[in-house]
Amino acid sequence: MSISSTSPTPIAILSALLQEQQGLMELLHQPHKVTHAGRDFWLGELHGRSVVLALSKIGKVAAATTATALIERFGVRRMVFTGVAGGLGAGVNVGDVVVASEFVQHDLDASPLFPRYEVPLYGRARFEGDAALTALLFNAASAALGDGGASAAFPVARVHRGLIASGDRFVSGAGESRSLHATLTGAGHQVLAVEMEGAAVAQVCLDYGVPFAAVRTISDRADDSAHVDFPRFIEQVASRYAHAIVEKLLVSLEP
Ligand code: ADE
């Protein structure tokens, strides 16, 4: 299968939600859909780059399957994730953006065989984003929000860089979120945000040696109101951020 006439190594743009993907799909040149492993992959060009757009689906296993398919079937050699997350760290507010420097699986516990959070047989709890790609993504996010990209509802949105925790759970209680933050902090993991896929994609990308970077817009504080206005936030804020950030990133990439 020919993936692109312009580049043999497309960049994967993974979105957590359909609304986030839609803005990118509208700009996709020569779109071509391939259905594989129960997922739709959209091949085409964005800003002169060969890309594959895909939905991660929700949760660690689904996201790992999507990431593996992107690498094995579509030959991607760089992967970027855009999505939303709950803010856990102090000062990480709704409307802010977090670029992941590292990932940890907050629901992984093989103790007493291995230290809590450590991924068995990897000898580590944390997986890093690719330094160069993450730096470009951070710059893209800062430029996108600074350029009038910040929404009217969140005019003082900040861009953070740090640790993101992933797990198969939508965290939606103030008590749970406090205890998650305290337990992770107690184990030396100063987490900024929580979501459901990033650490799994990071692990797959480490296995394959594929550079990975992720950006998350904070949609909630992982507390009792975490579910309120979630769809409206995705549509009106997160999708626009994702679109603007990916655009800035793609134009800043080396060929
Ligand atoms: N994604 C967005 N908000 C989240 C939350 N509170 N918990 C897990 N994943 C999320």
Give pLDDT tens digits for 54-76. Answer: 999 999 999 999 999 999 999 99
pLDDT band at 1 (very low <50, low <70, confident <90, very high): very low
pLDDT band at 154 (very low <50, low <70, confident <90, very high): confident
The pick from 81, 82, 195 for probing ligand 1's pocket by mutation, whose C-beta has the most ligand atoms within 8 angstroms, reads 195
Tell me the C-alpha distance between 116 and 133, whole Å. Answer: 29
Query: Tokens for 245?
Result: 């950030």
- Is residue 4 within 8 A of residue 10, CB to CB? The reply is yes
Mean pLDDT, residues 103-127:
98
Give pLDDT tens digits for 224-246. Answer: 887 777 888 888 888 889 999 99
Instruction: Report pLDDT for 207.
Output: 98
Say how many Å lie between the CA of residue 252 and the centre of ligand 1. Answer: 29
SS3 label, residue 224: coil
Which alpha helices (H) appear in the chain, and where do they start and end? 18-27, 60-72, 131-144, 174-186, 198-208, 230-233, 239-252
Domains and CATH numbers, the chain: 11-253 (3.40.50.1580)
Give pLDDT tens digits for 13-30. Answer: 999 889 888 888 988 999
Nearest-atom number in ligand 1 for the CA of 167 is 8
Sign of CA dihedral 23, 247, 145, 180: positive
Phi, psi of 107, rounded to the nearest 5 degrees: -105, 15
Phi, psi of 170, rounded to the nearest 5 degrees: -85, 115
pLDDT band at 2 (very low <50, low <70, confident <90, very high): very low
Say how many Å lie between the CA of residue 234 and the centre of ligand 1. Answer: 12
